[in-house]
Structure formats: C-alpha cells, structure tokens
Amino acid sequence: MTTAPTPAATLSDREDITVAELQLAARNHGMPLEALRYAVTPVGLHYLLIHYDIPPVPVDWSLTVGGRVSRELSLSLEALRARPGVRAPVTMECAGNGRARLAPRPISQPWLLEAVGTAEWGGIPLRALLEEAGVLDDAVEVLFTGADRGIEGGVEQRYERSLSLADALRDDVLLAFEMNGGPLPPQHGAPLRLVAPGWYGMAHVKWLRAVTVIDTPFTGYQQDRSYRLRRAPEDEGEPVTRMAPRALMVPPGLADFASRERTVELAPCLLEGRAWSGWGPIAAVRVSSDGGATWADAVVEDHPAASAWARWTYRFAPPAPGDYVLCCRARDACGNEQPVEAEWNLGGYANNAVQRVAVTVRPPA
C-alpha cells in the first residue's frame, strides 16, 4: 500500500492543479453559484465531498446507540421514522471551501468557492435518542461512525468524528433521513446522517452506523490529524469547528463558457446572494465594485431560520463601461468579519476571504 499524502503534508507553489487534485474535483460536486438564488438548494446542486466511496446500504441496516449509556439501542430506519420528527433548513459548507485560492496550495479537494448548500433536512432530534439511551455521568463526548471506509494519510479507517456532549445535546442537532422532503440520497449519507447546524461539513457524519457515548476525548484521524488549523506540521493546532462568516453573490450578466468571465450591460443591476456564519446571525453584508477600495451596505433579509443563510441584495449601477471587480463581505452578530486577504493554514481550511467577481460592463448594443 502506498502511503498517500495528507492534506496537511503536501503543498504546491504552482498555480496549476495536479491530475490527482482533478480526480477529486471530478467526483466531488460544487454548487454552481447561480444556485445562490434558491433559499433551499435543489437536490443535485448542493455541494458534495466524499472522502472515500459512497457505501452501499446493507439490507439489514440499523443504527446502534451505545458506549457510556444505561441502555444500548439498536434501531431500524422504520423505528427511527416512527419517532416524533423535525425538519430544518441548514446551511452547510465544506471546511475546505476556498482551499484552491491559497498559496502555497494545500493538496486536497481543490475547492474554489462552490462548496456550500442549504437543504431542508428531516429526521429526529439526536438529544431525544441520547436521553432514551441514558447518558452516564462519566460521558464527555459522542462519537459518530459512518459506513464509509478508506485510507487517508496512510491510515485505514471508517470516517468518524465526535462532538462534545454539550454540542451533541443541543436542540438543533438532527439525525436526518430526509433531504428536501424526499428520502436522503445515497451521496448525502443514506439512510441516515448527522446534521449539526452551524458546523462545517466534516462534522455532519454521513452513512451513520453508530452513535457511541465515550468517556475520553476521541483522538481519531478526522479529529486529531485532519481538520485542524495548523501553520506547520508539528503544530497541535486548533480544531476546525463552526463556519466562519461568508457572503457569496450570483455572478451577474453573461458567462463565457471557457473562461467564466462575465459581461454585464451598462444599466442598473440587482446583485443578489446569500450570507451565513456558524457563530450567529449575519449583521451586515457590504459590497464593493472597485475590488475592495470602497464599500457600501447591501440590504440583508431576515434569516428564514437560525440555521439557514440570509439573502442579500445590492443595486449595482455602473457609471460607465469598463472593468469592475465586485466583492461582498459579511459580518456576523458576534463581530466576526470576512478578511480581504486569505488567512493561510496547512490544511487549507476555513478560507473565508471575500469573493471577487471580475465583470466587464459594456455599452448598450
């Protein structure tokens, strides 16, 4: 077996993308940015990051709830569906979104800006299940184990991550078996996944098989080696947790197929987009049409739910034909604001630098 590079071990100083990175980009899915016009992202446009392969669902699938609990539970999908259900729109973003904009570039899935989506997840509250199982007093974390198995950084593993007991017991944490009103699709974790609103995507474990209450902090690969903000390989680093604020816009005007360059008519144009933060509601979105030299406030609509992005609009009235660089920048109610320049880290996580969309404004035909 070849020991493969890990996201935290390989960097490229070249702008160009390797064929290994292209292999990842060809199978993982971004959300085309014009889909920001949907409050709920249609199935098939939501972003998708699959570490290994989509696993088949065993015919005798059941979920185990075990570990430091009074009563171990084993539940079929029918048993889960029979419980009191909940639905919530949740904005989810890959922790690696923006990675391919970093220099040097961490070698992993080379996201530009498209690794986001909002789905209406349906399922049951995790808390009710944990209460039924009876969490013992020495519990500190809850571990979520997926059925997806593969090799990463030389380590053979099933994908698994933990949440602290306090985070796992939050009212908004779901075990979801529905997406946008239909059954959970295979690529989003069928038959059951975790949904932890506010967190980057790595926390929302897909293809869930086991929920295990543990009495020592989990130190597996996806917790202690991957998904940490490090400047150098020897750093311990801070864990990646909740989503940093970000605003994105629907690129206006006409796209060029090959270059994705944009052409806009000389006329007032309503820019629209969505903004979100895992730390609190969006307090402001500002827009620049001169690459960030000057900024003006966009109109921010109410979040449809605490867990879902907010729509924003801005009237862009270009004074003359020419080249413009449109930017948008979100600030949340906790005071976190998007940086203009990317903050680099070894894994390429949480790069929420402002979006820049170059447009050419042309005179009326």
Q: Under rule CB under 8 A, which residues in 42-101 are in contact with a second copy?
A: 42-46, 48, 50-54, 56, 100
Site for a second copy in 239-298 (CB under 8 A): 251, 254-261, 263
Site for a second copy in 108-137 (CB under 8 A): 108, 110-112, 114
Q: How far is the CB of 279 from a second copy (least distance, A)?
A: 26
Q: How far is the CB of 284 from a second copy (least distance, A)?
A: 27
Residue of 224, 107, 94 lying closest to 157 (CA atoms): 224
Q: Report how many residues bind a second copy under the rule CB under 8 A.
A: 71
Q: Does 27 bind a second copy (CB under 8 A)?
A: yes
CB atoms within 10 A of CB 215: 12
Q: Does 22 bind a second copy (CB under 8 A)?
A: yes
Q: Which among 167-175, 181-189, 240-248, 280-288 is the span making contact with a second copy, rule CB under 8 A?
A: 181-189
Q: How far is the CB of 147 from a second copy (least distance, A)?
A: 13
Contact string (CB under 8 A) for a second copy, positions 211-230, x = contact: --------------------
Kind of pairing between the strands at 355-362 and 262-265: parallel
Question: Phi and psi at residue 340, in whole multiples of 5°?
Answer: -75, -35
Judged by CB under 8 A, which of 14, 166, 234, 341 binds a second copy?
A: 14
Q: How far is the CB of 240 from a second copy (least distance, A)?
A: 16
Q: Does 13 bind a second copy (CB under 8 A)?
A: no
Residues 198 and 240: their CA atoms lie apart, in Å, by 12
Residues 25 and 108: their CA atoms lie apart, in Å, by 9
Contact string (CB under 8 A) for a second copy, positions 324-363, x = contact: ------------------------------------x-x-
Residue of 124, 138, 43, 122 lying closest to 79 (CA atoms): 124
> Among residues 151 and 229, whose Cβ is nearest to a second copy?
151
Q: How far is the CB of 258 from a second copy (least distance, A)?
A: 5
Q: How far is the CB of 140 from a second copy (least distance, A)?
A: 28
Kind of pairing between the strands at 262-265 and 299-300: unpaired
Contact 35, 42 (CB under 8 A): yes
DSSP string, 37-87: G-SSPPTTTS-B--SS-PPPPPTT--EEEEESBSS-EEE-HHHHHTSPPEE
Residues 61 and 76: their CA atoms lie apart, in Å, by 7
> Among residues 190 and 196, whose Cβ is nearest to a second copy?
190
Judged by CB under 8 A, which of 66, 85, 150, 292 binds a second copy?
A: 150
Residue carrying structure tokens 């079929």: 76
Q: Is the peptide bond before 84 cis (omega within 30 degrees of 0)?
A: no
